[in-house]
Structure 1
Amino acid sequence: MTSEPKFFEARDGVRLAWHETGEGAPIILLHGLFSNAEVNWIKFGTAARVAREGYHVIMPDLRAHGSSDAPHEEEHYPSDVLVHDLEDMVAHLGLTEFDLGGFSLGARTSARAVVAGMKPRRLILGGMGLAGLAGWQRRGRFFKRVIAEYESAKRGDDTWLSIQFMKTMKVDRIAAGHLLDSFTDTTPEMLAALTMPVLVVCGEQDQDNGSAEELVGALPDARLATIPGTHMSSVTQPELGEAIAAFLTA
């Protein structure tokens, strides 16, 4: 199943894409860094599984990813630009009540949006631990190295797999570098804003963004679903869609 993208203009004129499937209550799902909606949500059946529960699944390609524009000018990457883009898409689609979730960068962006005042009914944080929100700078430095070592890394280097993924996804390195600079930390104190029910869903071998258990412990109303896989492989597992569907229908 593939989905032809639709497009809207963000507040700074950048053209952004989104994909959708299903009918019913809206849920927005945000993909991870260097990925896109097709690979993260559609290809392995997660979107279809959620749609079967009676949901209209809305999946943007984040700025500098997928079918969305990837401008090279720094002015298009202010702090929390992905939150602004999410706000603009919600306004463009006229959404008032919706669920929100994401994987890795998408989870981080979802949490940042709630801190900024967005009020989804429920929240899904995939592939995320407490350090991935509160200690982003360390993770950010790793991805800066991924970009810097794009042409020089050797098999076995810690950046190798991320670089191969970037190459497969045809990521624009200049745009990606600017986007990394737009990310800011979410402190544990800020997480008090996440008052809605939250699902933290994480691969059993995934520690890339720190401890999922610690994140659950830091949130007012959260539950943990552990699924098979690493950070890279857990999005390919049917258990991801099953966990999200179970949370939405509980």
Structure 2
Amino acid sequence: MPIYNNNERPIAYLDEGEGDPILLIHGFASNKFVNWVYPGWVDLLVKDGRRVIAIDNRGHGESYKYYNAEDYGAPVMAEDALRLLDHLYIDQADLLGYSMGTRISAFCALQAPDRVRSLALGGMGYGLISGVGNPEPIVKGLLAEKITDVTDRTGRTFRAFAEQTKSDRKALAACMQSARKPISEEMVSTITAPTLVAVGTKDDVAGDPQALTDLMPNARYLEIANRDHMTAVGDKVFKEGLLEFLEQFT
């Protein structure tokens, strides 16, 4: 698997296909395989005639693991993603993010709007602005000695997912403890790239998707019926909706 040297801290990625580039940015406790390869996204987009780049965010997958909270945060991880585009000599790309990857994608658009041709923001609505709850139960769940010691429902869910993805739980805990740089409504309103907001109707994590969509001048909402935060990512409606959305640029 290719890596690039990010200040002596390797970032892993995959790079497949030819055509217009699209950068895929996964969610918390996931990785490029779990979020994008196994649900069929990479094959789908390559067959659609695109160059597909999927990053392992720092602390995740095969990328370097940091154990201090100050080494994380969406703005820092957005810089990693933009440096990957630099490494691959890609001036501009479409971005597809899911959950935490949506927050990272939004910061890419805020920090370097000329690098982002379009945005697809999955699994995140107004929670991008308001936040998605208290991180402490998740941190405690990740650091508990055994999953059977975790009594909080949310903490247990993330602990189980981290074990499923064979993640470094200490690195994930540091990531979850990082300071959340606020994104205001005013900041979101400056994102002018064409944007697709895709959220499951049973997603109780994302926040109101229409409220987020309404803040951006060139955004539209894709409803993914009867899917929650964990199941919407591989849904056929999401995939078909993204392909339709991307057609406008070809």
* TM-score normalized by the length of structure 1: 0.89
**Separation (CA, whole Å) in 1 of partners of 2:76 and 2:42:** 25
Tell me which residue corresponds to 1:43: 38
How far apart are 1:45 and its partner, in Å? Answer: 1.0
Cα gap change, 1:175/1:245 in structure 2, threshold over 3 Å: closer, same or farther? same
Q: 1:208 aligns with which of 205, 208, 219?
A: 205
The answer for unaligned runs of 5 or more in structure 2 is none
Name the amino acid aligned to 1:70: K
Give the match for residue 31 of structure 1: 26
**Percent same amino acid at aligned positions?**
29
How does 1:212-227 map onto structure 2 within 5 Å? 212-227=209-224
2:184 matches 1:187: yes
Task: Pick the aligned partner of 2:8 from 13, 22, 42.
Answer: 13
Verify the 8 A CA contact 1:46 1:238 in the aligned structure 2.
no
Equivalent residue number for residue 236 of structure 1: 234
CA contact (8 A) 1:191 1:218 kept: yes
Counterpart mapping for 1:11-160 below 5 A: 12-73=7-68, 76-77=71-72, 80-119=75-114, 120-131=116-127, 133-136=128-131, 138-149=133-144, 151=146, 152-154=149-151, 157-160=153-156
Q: Does the 8 A contact of 1:47 with 1:241 survive in 2?
A: no
Partner of 1:176: 172
Q: CA deviation at 1:66?
A: 0.8
Q: What residue identity is the alignment partner of 2:106?
A: A
Shift of 1:73: 4.7
Secondary structure in structure 1 of the residue aligned to 2:133: helix
Mapped partners of 1:87, 1:182: distance in 2: 21
What residue is the counterpart of 2:163 in the other structure? Answer: 167
Distance in 2 (CA, whole Å) between partners of 1:102 and 1:206 is 16
Match for 2:157: what amino acid? L
Distance 1:13 1:183 in 2: 25
Match of 2:195 in 1: 198
Question: Which 4+ residue blocks in structure 1 deviate beyond 6 angstroms?
Answer: none
SS of corresponding position for 1:185: coil
Residue 164 of structure 1 and its aligned partner are, at CA, apart by 0.6
Gaps of 5+ in 1: none
Q: Distance in 2 between matches of 1:15 and 1:238?
A: 33
Amino acid at match of 1:192: S
Displacement of 1:171: 2.0
**How far apart are the structure 2 equivalents of 1:34 and 1:115?**
24
Which moved further from structure 2: 143-152 or 188-197? Answer: 143-152
Q: How far apart in 2 are the matches of 1:210 and 1:67?
A: 30
SS of equivalent to 2:175: helix
Task: Quickly say closer, same or farther: Cα 1:40–1:79, change in 2 above 3 A.
Answer: closer
Find the aligned partners of 2:70 and 2:8 in 1 and give their Cα distance.
12
TM-score (normalizing by structure 2): 0.89
Post-superposition CA distance 1:56-111 (Å, at most 9, x none): 01100111111111133556437722012112111111111211120001111000
> SS state of the match for residue 195, structure 1?
coil
Change (3 A) 1:237 1:222: same
Question: In structure 2, what residue type is equivalent to 1:45?
Answer: G
